[in-house]
Amino acid sequence: MSDKKQQLLEASIDLFAREGFWNTSTASIAKHAGVATGTLFNYFPSKDALIDAVYMHLKHEWLQHIQRDYPVRADIKSRLEHIWYRNIDWGVRFPERYNLKQQLSLSGVLGAEAVDYEAEELAFLHELIQEGFNQGIFKEMSVDYFNSMVMAEMDATVRYATAQGLKDMALARLIALSSDVLWSGVAR
């Protein structure tokens, strides 16, 4: 990725997180990135394309974080716990990026490319969840409900830990507790 494109993405992330993506003009992004306004359109044909690129960039960072040391051969509970711990860790370390990723995900403004990217990148997670259902590990419920419940609890844990300023052992205890609460809610 070129330096200017990276500068534009980082400027967008910073301004979108502080001012909201609808309230941020492309001119202010270019200025914040230290490039001419026209330069932005050399990399992103529209603001919508920029929003999609920001989302895919954040999603890629997040995925790299949660997939680091992913225990591919471990049992389902261990793999789910790994994803749980790594997601909460990323959210607490990078709260602005986490919040923006969540906002963009729920906004309804993402284009087909961003939606397709997410589906491809999360295939391993969907396979893990389906494997759990196929093996009878999870309680009987729809996969959509399972996903919604997991994401809501994960989000609540990140928001609580961030608001409380939890670190080190206090954060580790909260993550372990929330993981236990989740598991007891979904496992048979």
Domain extent listing, the chain: 1-44, 46-186
The whole-angstrom separation of Cα 170 and Cα 174 is: 6
> Is the separation of the CB atoms in 13 and 100 below 8 Å?
yes
Contact status, residue 135 vs residue 87, Cβ threshold 8 Å: no
Does position 50 have pLDDT exceeding 90, yes or no? yes
CA-based nearest residue to 125, from 93, 151, 91: 151
Which amino acid appears at position 146 of this protein?
F
Element containing residue 149 per DSSP (H, E): helix 143-164
User: Rounded to an integer, what distance in angstroms lies between the CA atom of residue 132 and that of residue 139?
Assistant: 9
Q: How does pLDDT run across 124-167, given as a tens digit for each residue?
A: 999 999 999 999 999 999 999 999 999 999 999 999 999 999 99
**Model confidence at 1: pLDDT above 90:** no
* Average pLDDT of the residues in 165-181: 97
Question: Under CATH, to which class is 1-44 assigned?
Answer: mainly alpha
pLDDT of the residue at 118: 86
User: Do 1-44 and 46-186 fold alike per CATH?
Assistant: no
- Is the pTM here over 0.85, yes or no? yes
Q: Residue 44: phi, psi to the nearest 5? A: -135, 115
DSSP conformation class of 108 = S
Q: Which three-class secondary structure state does DSSP give residue 142?
A: coil
Q: 46-186: CATH homologous superfamily?
A: Tetracycline Repressor, domain 2 (1.10.357.10)
Residue 86 CA to residue 91 CA, distance in Å, equals 9
At 23, is the secondary structure helix, strand, or coil?
coil
